Structure formats: structure tokens, C-alpha cells
Structure 1
Amino acid sequence: MSGFVGDLSEKQSKALNELKSRLDGVDLPEPDDVNIDSYLLKWLRARQFNVEQAEHMLRNHLSFREKWNVQSLLDNWHPPEVLDKYMVGGLCGFDKGGSPVWYEPFGYFDPRGVVLSSTGNDLTKMKIQICEEILSQLRSQTKKLGKPIDRMVIVFDLEKAGLSHIWKPFIDRYNLILQIFEAHYPEMLKKCFVINAPAFFSIGFNLIKKFLSEATKNKVVVLGGNYQDVLKEAIGEDLPAHFGGTVCDPDGDPRCVSKIRFGGKVPESFYLKDNFMHEGRLTEVNIGHGSNLELTYEVKEEGHVLKWEFMTRHNNIGFGVFYQPSPDTKRAQWEEVVERTRCSCHLVPEIGGYSCEKLGTYIVQFDNSFSWMRGKKVLYLIEIQKEGDHES
């Protein structure tokens, strides 16, 4: 049995009912008119119908949405100009089964320029927005067609791609995005067509495939330059002319740039390294190999934001934020409010903030425990500011 609504074995039905029971009363992020069975089944499929693992995965996702304040991200945040202009990709039409199709002309992307001109935090926010946009499109198609449409198709175009596209600092960031996709947007991929794959494709794929589930890897179809017939068979009349179909923009552009961003070279005027916002006020510390640094900040009034700005002299550093409700709260009970991630911030500063909705103690952690050979020099500025005094 496939594990989708209407095609469940007795064991799968039992697992679904048990998961529903375990989540009774939990506020799920999907709208009320979404089929709850369809929503829960994707978490079960992602964990081979192991109820305990599926519940853990879903509860982690709910925590993730709270940490990233996803609803506010959708309602109030807009990507910085450099990402809006120079990231690649977009939704354009549907395949023959009604699934939305995302085109990513990766060969037109400038990895080095984007890394040097944007923070990892902003790139992650943008990718979360895109995933949520696709989920919204899936819900719309489900209503329109009267049948479950819960997966998308990706066309990943490597025309013009070179070795610069597997630059390690970018791959490090991209792998973090892939981990988010796998952990928080499971079972969303129907098929990924990699087209115009160059000879070195296997090198790049080896750098990222360890972050992909077996199910995801099995959905990747690698094609060379003769891909048009395969895409026509899968997508049909909605295929843009640039990719072998007939669809063009109203002005005749075969690339459909009104829907698909084709990126381009990022001007150096966008680069951030020479624009560290508060360089004269930074504290510099040495964090030894295998150790970490924890900084404590007290929030005694409502309406405050914890703001940070930091970079390393060399190599990456882990960063996260924890909440301690009271002084006697044991460390094991601290709440992780900003998920710990490794930041490649030796090339460009990492800038971000967290809205402190709860009063109490916030602990900022710079983590170098993963490095047994290298100490790290970190320059940072961390402040508690009133909500209206900071820029989002």
C-alpha cells in the first residue's frame, strides 16, 4: 500500500489512528479545511509508519515553527534586495497530475556573490518562505482539483554550471537548507529532474546527498542535454519554452522570468564584509578547541528583542540561544529558542535577532565543541533592545 489517503493497509490505518490520538488537542499549523489524515500521513510516511518517530518529527516541526516565528515571517518579512534579485527559481505551472512545478536555473546562480552579500539567517528565512509558498500552492490545487495534491516537481537546471557552483562555503549553507527541508517539509517532493547535468555533477551530488533521505534520493532523475521529451511527458502544456515547451511570458520571453528568477552575477556593492554594522563596538574573544562560550542576558520587561551580530576570524562557529525561566531551572530544562547551527561567518557577518516574548534569562552560546584542533576568534555585539528600536 502507498500510504496515501484511500490506499492504507490495516497496519498503516492503525498507525494513523494512534498518531491522531497522541496529538489530540495539539494545535497543528494546517488550516481547518485541510484533510488532517493527509497531513499526518506525510509524517508517518517519512518515518516508515513508526508512530513514535513520526510524532517526534512532527513535534520538532512545531517547535521549529515557533523558533523561526514562521507566521510572522510570512506576514511581515521580506528578503533583502540582493536575495530578491539574485536568488534563482520560481513556481511556473503544473505537471500533468496537477502538482506545482518549481524551476531552479542553478547554473545562472552566483554562489560566492550570494554568500558574501547575505547572512545565513536571511537565506534560511527566504527558503522557509518558499517552502510555505509551495505548501499554499498545494492546498490551492487540492481544492481546485478535488483530490489530494501534496507533492511538487522540481526541475533543477545545471546549464552554465561550473566548479564555482560547488564552492564549499556555499555548499555548507546549502546543506543546512537541505536539512531543514528534510526535517520540516517531508514527503513534499514528487520528482526532481536534474537537467543539463555536467560531468562533475557526481562531485557536487556527493557533497549533499548525505543530507538527503533515501526516499528523496530515489526521486532524483539525472538527465543530460536531451531532456526535453522527458519533461514534456511529465509536465505537458505548462512547460516553459526555455525548457523545451511552448509557454512564454506575455512579452514573449521563453524563460518566463515573471515567475522564475534567473539570478545573475551579484555586484560587489552588495558585499557585506566591509559593512559590519557596529565594527567599533565589537568584543573579541578566543574560544578554545572543544569548548564554548555562554553569555547571559536578562529580560525584565516585555517588548524587547535580543539582537546579535558576529563573525569569526577564520572557520565556522556554532551559535544558538537558550531560555532559562528562573535561576533554579536546571540546564537540561533550558529551552532552545534559536536552534544551534554552525555559521560560516568568517566571510560575512551573521546578523539576526529573537523577539523575547517571555521574561527571564537568555543564554547566547558560541559553540566550538565540535572542533578538536582549532580555537576560534569571535567578534560579536549582542544587545537587548526595545522592539521598536531595531530593524527586522
Structure 2
Amino acid sequence: MSGHVGDMTTKQEAILKTLKENCKDIAKPDWDDYYWTRWLRGRSLHLYTNPPLKCGDVVWRKEWNADNILEWDPPEVVKKYYPGGYFGEDKQGFPIWIEILGSIDLKAMYFSTVKKDILRYKVYNAEYLFKYLLPEQCKKHGRKIERCSVIFDMQSLGLKHLWKPAVDLLTEMLSIMENHYPETLGVCYAINAPKLFPVMWNIAKPFLEEETKRKIKILGKKYKEEILQYIDPDQLPVHWGGNCRDPDGNEYCQSKQSVTVAYFFCIIYIYVSESQYPCPELDLYYLVVCMGGKIPEKYRLKNIRENIDLSNFENCNVARGSTVQLDYEVTEPESTLRWQFLTEDNDIGFGVFKRTTDERQKKGDMIEVVKSERVDSHLIPEEGSVMIDEPGQYVVRFDNTYSWTVSKKVSYLIDVLPPDTENELQVTEL
């Protein structure tokens, strides 16, 4: 049995009854059996003494004002430059969210608004799905539709996206969706998977429930024929294999003049007008595909350093005319060495090297992996990563030999990310 309403075993029905009884003091009138079973399926039909719904979700929704979040107007930089959007539906009637992570200027986004507003934007879109899109899909198809499908486009996803604060932000997004919107995902069609995908998958999977992992289809780069088995072409922009274009010929359907978008907007406009959830700033950007892109300097906050949480950073002092070498053991090929650091008042030299012996070596005796250069880490925090093909002892080297008068304090966060050795997902090249 699936654990869905109308397809439950006697044991599953008993679990559902117990859950409802345990949570009756917080239950709302609109929490029907579809709502309750989503929580159970999201936890593999396990019932806890203190269900996550009761001990965590109610408190979280109050903290984030999730019930009224559609009254919030997201910052302009998030609306204009966080890539993605709802567009069309798949053959199961699930609305489609197109996520274009590779085109996000996430570092600039991080420094152009507060972190919580980026996370709040994801909550906004989730609430929009449940309050408006899904109810209209139910009316349109005459049956219950509880989930949304995702096209996760990884085109241009690279090492720059492994910046530690950005990774933390994205994993927090995953945690929010899994912990507070369980069983929301219909299918995830992951396309244009890069070589780096196993590393990124290894980062993401601890935050995903087993049921969520099973819904991910990896379609690689030659995906268009395959994806049309699940989505009709009139429900997709041309760029992703469909036949929808904007009136000006745009293949991404970014325009507010899109025919598909206009159809959905008519529905949403009527729904919002009669709703008890006023959305004065609700606009068509929630129904078109935003492509992200480079964020203009005008959005940059002045105090970049104040946005960085240094609680997990380590510190070292690089004496004048000296260097500091930090050793990291890499045991598996295709691991990723990742770094972030900043200095207080002056620049610093930085490079990555591979030892050729087990003993400390001079720069010229080691293999240069990342060229040593002076960086302005006192102005903008420096970040980066490099994929390691050969196991061994690697050195992150801070160089202050060019300064004979000033020592440098460096705050740094450096770690080694192993590849995904379990091969749980295989990239399918069609």
C-alpha cells in the first residue's frame, strides 16, 4: 500500500488515527487526511512519540510567519536575480518549478541581502504553491493534487558554487523543504549534470529523506527527448525541450506576456481577489522563469564582512616575512579541497600545493596546484575550491614573505569534500 488516502493498510490507518489524536490540540480545520498522510509518508510512515509536526513545525511556522508570508514583499534583488519559476505542469498534473541553480550569482546575492530573506523567499514560493497553485490544479483536474515537480537545471554549475556559505544556504533550503513541506516533491528531473555532480550530491543527500531520493531522475545533458515522456511540449519553454516561446521569441519564457503565464495569472488573480490572504505585491514573476544572472553592484551591501559568521573559522597569524602552511590529507581521487578566508587589514598571498615527500618542503619543491598569488581578502572574503585527482598530502599556503613590516591575521575555513563513492545515482546520457 502506498500510504496515500484511499490506499492504506489497516496498520497505516491506525498510525494515522494515532497521529491525529496526538496532535488534536494544534490541529487546524483545513488539516484533512491528505495533509496528515503527507507527514507520515515523509517520515516513511513512522510515528514518533513527539511527531515532528507537533514538536517543531508549529513553532517554526510561527517564527517565520509562514501563514502570512504572502503578505511579505521580497527584496528586489531576490525577485529579479534568484533564478527559477513555476511554469506549466507535467503529465500527472503536478505544477513544475524550474530551478536554474547554475545561473545564480549566489555570492553577490549573499552580500546583497540578509541570508534569512533568501531562505524566506523559498518559504514564500512553497506557501504560494499550497495556497494557490495546487488548489487550482485540483479544480482543473477534478482530483487531489498534492505535489510539485522540479526541473533542476545544473548547466554552468561549477566549483564557484562550492563556496562554503552558499553550500550552507542551499542545504538549509533543503532542510526547510524536507522538515516543513514533506512529500511536496512529485518528481525531480535533474538535467545537465556536470562532472562535479557526485560531490554536490554527496553534500545534499544527508538532508534528503529516502523517499525524496527515490524521486530524483538524473537525465544528463541529452535529456530533451526523455523529459517529453513526462511533460507535454506545450507545458515547457523551448529551451528545456518544449514549444513555448514568448511573443518576442524568447525560448526561456521570461516575459510577462507569455500565453501560458497569462492563463495562470487569470486564475490566480481571481483566487487572490477572493482570498483571505491579501497579496498586494503578488506579481507575474512567480509565474515566469527568472534566469538570474550577474547582480549589479548597486545591490551590494556596504558591510560585507558583517554578513559572515566567523564562529566556525580558525585563525592563524602570518608573521612578517614569513609563511604559514596548513596540511590536508586527501585520500580519494576527485575529492574537492574548498576554502574561504579573510584578513583584517591587508592582503595575503595564497596558493595550494602537493607535497612530494612526507616532510615540510619549500614552495619550489612542491607541486603547484593553485598558483600562489596575492589576494585582497581584507576587502572581499576570498573563496574557492579545486578538484583533487590524485590522493596525497596537500598544503594550503598563506604567504607574507613580501611584507617585512606587517604581520597578517587570517581567519579561514578549509575542508576536504569526498566524492560520492556510493554511486547511488547514475547519470544517464541518452
Q: TM-score, normalised by structure 1?
A: 0.68
The Cα of 1:44 is off from its aligned counterpart by 0.9
Residues 320-365 of structure 1, C-alpha deviations (whole Å, 9 max, x = no match): xxxxxxxxxxxxxxxxxxxxxxxx9x999xxxxxxxxxxxxxxxxx
Alpha-carbon contact 1:111-1:167 (below 8 Å) kept: no
* 1:201 counterpart (197, 201, 206): 197
Residue identity (%): 37
2-structure distance, mates of 1:132, 1:235: 24
Give the letter aligned to residue 78 of structure 1: D
- Secondary structure of 2:230's partner? helix
Cα deviation per residue 1:120-159 (whole Å; 9 max; x = unaligned)? 1111111110111122312221233221111111001112
Provide the C-alpha distance between the structure 2 equivalents of 1:220 and 1:53, rounded to a whole number of angstroms: 30
From 143, 152, 161, the equivalent of 1:165 is 161
C-alpha distance in 1, partners of 2:49/2:85?
Answer: 33
Tell me which residue corresponds to 1:255: 252
> What is the match of residue 113 of structure 1?
108
Tell me the matched-pair count.
288
Aligned to 1:74: 70
CA deviations on 1:297-330 (whole Å, 9 max, x unpaired) are xxxxxxxxxxxxx65684559xxxxxxxxxxxxx
Residue identity matched to 2:44: Q
Report the equivalent of 1:239.
236
In 2: Cα distance, 1:146 partner to 1:178 partner: 31
Deviations 1:194-243 (A, max 9, x none): 11111111112212221111211121111221101121111113122110
Which residue number in structure 2 is paired with residue 21 of structure 1? 21
Match of 2:124, SS? Answer: helix
> Is 1:269 paired with 2:266?
no
Please point out which of 13, 33, 39 is paired with 2:35.
Answer: 39
Amino acid at match of 1:164: K
Q: Is the 8 A contact 1:74 1:129 kept in 2?
A: yes
Contact 2:152 2:191 in 1 (8 A): yes
For residue 118 of structure 2, what is the aligned residue in structure 1? 123
Which residue does 1:222 correspond to in 2? 218
CA RMSD of aligned residues (A): 2.8
Task: Give the drift of 1:3.
Answer: 0.6
Give the CA deviation at 1:6. 1.0
Letter in 2 for 1:125: R
| AA matched with 2:303 | D
- Please name the residue that 2:4 is paired with: 4
Distance in 2 (CA, whole Å) between partners of 1:262 and 1:53 is 44
Structure 1 residue ranges (4+ consecutive) displaced by more than 4 angstroms after TM superposition: 310-313
8 Å CA contact 1:46–1:54 kept in 2: the answer is no
Matches within 5 A, 1:346-357: none
Corresponding residue number in structure 2 for 1:51 = 47
Unaligned stretches of 5+ residues in structure 2:
256-287, 314-339, 343-378, 381-409, 413-430
Shift in Å at residue 187 of structure 1? 0.4
Amino acid at match of 2:19: L
CA drift at 1:22? 2.4
SS in 1 for 2:111: helix
In the TM superposition, residue 163 of structure 1 has moved relative to its aligned partner by 1.5
C-alpha change, 1:62 and 1:163, in structure 2 (3 Å) is same
Structure 1 residue 59 displacement after superposition: 4.3
| Corresponding letter in the other structure for 1:241 | V
The 5 Å alignment of 1:292-311 reads none
Q: Distance in 2 between matches of 1:109 and 1:239?
A: 21
User: Is residue 159–residue 196 contact of structure 1 (8 Å, CA) maintained in 2?
Assistant: yes
What letter matches 2:210 in structure 1?
Answer: E
CA contact (8 A) 1:44 1:54 kept: no
Q: Secondary structure at the match of 2:99?
A: strand
Classify 1:58/1:193 alpha carbon distance in 2 versus 1 (closer, same or farther; 3 Å): farther
* Contact residue 47 and residue 54 of structure 1 kept, 8 A: no
Larger Rg: 2
Q: Identify the residue that residue 139 of structure 1 maps to in structure 2.
A: 135
Cα pair 1:152 1:189 within 8 Å, conserved: yes
1:229-279 alpha-carbon deviations (Å, 9 max, x no partner): 121111113122110111122333110113011000112222224379xxx
CA separation of 1:208 and 1:273: change in aligned 2, threshold 3 A:
farther
Does structure 1 retain, via aligned residues, the 8 Å contact 2:43–2:209?
no
Q: 1:92 and 1:65, CA in 2 relative to 1: closer, same or farther beyond 3 A?
A: same
Q: Is 1:89 the equivalent of 2:65?
A: no
Q: Does the 8 Å CA contact 2:111/2:307 hold for their aligned counterparts? A: no
Q: Secondary structure at the match of 2:62?
A: helix
Distance 1:58 1:240, change over 3 A: farther
Q: Distance in 1 between matches of 2:221 and 2:38?
A: 34
C-alpha separation between the residues in 1 aligned to 2:23 and 2:411? 44
Is the CA contact (8 Å cut-off) linking 1:73 and 1:129 kept in structure 2?
Answer: yes
Deviates more, 1:141-150 or 1:186-195: 141-150
3-state SS, counterpart of residue 245 of structure 1: coil
Provide closer, same or farther for how the CA distance between residues 312 and 105 of structure 1 changes in structure 2, counting only shifts above 3 A: closer
**3-state DSSP of counterpart to 1:223:** strand
Q: CA deviation at 1:54?
A: 7.5
Give the CA deviation at 1:20: 2.1
Which residue of 1 is the match for residue 171 of structure 2? 175
> Does the C-alpha gap of structure 1 residues 160 and 53 become closer, same or farther in structure 2, counting only changes over 3 Å?
farther
CA contact (8 A) 2:155 2:192 kept: yes
